[in-house]
Amino acid sequence: MLQTNRSLLKLILLSFITFGIYGLVFWYKLIKDVNVICVEDGKKTSGIIALFFLTLITFGIYSFWWYYNVGERLHDAGQRYNITVDVDGGKVLIWILVGLFTVGIGQLVAIHLMIKNLNILSEVHNSIS
């Protein structure tokens, strides 16, 4: 069973309380669930270790590509599951870029939208499996 109750507020609060440990667990599980839901596309979302090091090596550029790809995979999975996922990789990327000029608020919006879509897709996946 995939988790269906993810929340941005919970991510922020528990990451703060646990000094970031919850955040690492959260992203690990999110990536794992994205790969389960989107298995039919033949792609694989890289894990948090690869995300960290590739973002570091590319001076942050890889993270933009990563967020875009996760958004695209979730959008495409929505089409396969016959549900509307109105946020694609482009919209996620735009919010991430807006975050550069809004002290990270745009990035929080992007993460919230990804979480919301993943929760919906997880519910559908759980009902089918």
Q: pLDDT, tens digit, for every residue of 47-89? A: 999 999 999 999 999 999 999 999 999 999 999 999 999 899 9
**H or E segment to which residue 66 belongs:** helix 61-80
- Half-sphere exposure of residue 125: CA atoms within 13 angstroms, side-chain side: 23
Cβ neighbours of residue 108 under 8 Å, at least 6 residues apart?
A: 8, 99
Apex 30 CA angle, 69 and 36, nearest 5: 75
Global pTM value: 0.93
Q: How deeply is 118 buried, as exposed, middle or buried, from its count of CB atoms within 10 A (0-12, 13-18, 19+)?
A: buried
- Tell me the pLDDT band of 129, cut-offs 50, 70 and 90: confident
